[in-house]
Amino acid sequence: MEVDVSPLQLREAVAALERLYPPDTASSWDRVGLVTGDLDQPVSLVHFAVDPTLAVIEEARAAGADLLVTHHPLLLRGVHSVATTSAKGTSVTSLILNQIALYAAHTNADVASPGVCDALAGACALVDVGPLEIVDGVGHGRVGRLASPLTLRDFVQRLSTVLPKAAGGIRVAGPADALVSRVAVVGGAGDDFFDAVRSAGADVYVTADLRHHPVLEAREEARGGTPYLVDAGHWATEWLWLESARSELLRELGARGTSLNTHICTLRTDPWDFVIGAATNNNTGGTS
Ligand SMILES: [Zn+2]
């Protein structure tokens, strides 16, 4: 519900976001920060989403948002046109015509504390949480433990109650009845971190976008043992961050005596719509 707030200048909202998610902590290949908008434009309502899709931009417009904060960048690679002949061009044009500033906090939000991986660690109910790997002084991923061990099945079942639902569900590699305690997490695509997960002694690794060969090889190396793997979905594992970003932005603004209205996107931007033919026995697997 909206309350009366004095609009801020976009530059104030951007400054708050950059205190929370410093752009210089983003990966070198990444493109974070302000995509559209005028730093002098007023901002009253911020909309938070994982992906700046056309439907999300339309939802932000219909809500009357002046600032859309997304995790994924709209323009990661070079573009030569923002005409409405392409979806990205339509997105940029719509944002500009509707005076919606777009701001992306991507790999800088992954490594922030609290950031994307903390939100996933929280959803997994981890305690004693620390970085999974430290690269150049920056902590990537998180590892912690469950307050008491659970079976792999119960752990994932519990996680499923706090993750938003996606068509693909949650895929698990490992024996359903094995007890797990130490858990590593990386929100979004995380198959670069298998070595760190093994070094951290994790019983289970929760991430997304796990592909056939890396997963099969990791399960072969584990000889059926730990780490078990959980592919909880790219959108779902990052969606958890939206509430964190919203509350952190409000806290940051509140510390300076300002506030804004906020919305969290209600749209599922996971691109998959339905699944057919999934195996129904969830307690068997060739390598588990
Ligand atoms: Zn992502």
Q: Could you tell me the mean pLDDT of each successive run of 10 residues in the chain, 288 residues long? A: 85 98 96 98 98 98 98 94 96 98 98 98 98 95 98 98 97 97 97 96 98 95 97 98 98 95 97 92 54
Give residue 189's pLDDT.
94
Give residue 84's pLDDT.
97
Give residue 249's pLDDT.
98
* The model's pTM: 0.95
Q: Distance, CA 73 to ligand 1 centroid (Å)?
A: 9
Dihedral of CA 214/220/226/231: which sign? positive
Q: Distance, CA 60 to ligand 1 centroid (Å)?
A: 20
Give residue 199's pLDDT.
97
Give residue 168's pLDDT.
95
Q: Distance, CA 4 to ligand 1 centroid (Å)?
A: 33
Q: Distance, CA 210 to ligand 1 centroid (Å)?
A: 13
Give residue 284's pLDDT.
53
The per-residue DSSP string of the chain comes to -----PPEEHHHHHHHHHHHS-GGGS-TT---EEEE--TTSEE-EEEEES---HHHHHHHHHHT-SEEEESS-S--S--S--STTSHHHHHHHHHHHTT-EEEE--HHHHHSSSSHHHHHHHHTTEEEEEEEEEETTEEEEEEEEEEEEEEHHHHHHHHHHHSPP-TT--EEES-TT-EEEEEEEEEEE-GGGHHHHHHTT-SEEEEE---HHHHHHHHHHHTT-SPEEEE--HHHHHHHHHHHHHHHHHHHHHTTT---EEEE--S---S--------S-TT--S--
Counting every residue written for the chain, the total comes to 288
Token match 């950031």: residue?
115
Q: Distance, CA 7 to ligand 1 centroid (Å)?
A: 30
Give residue 5's pLDDT.
83
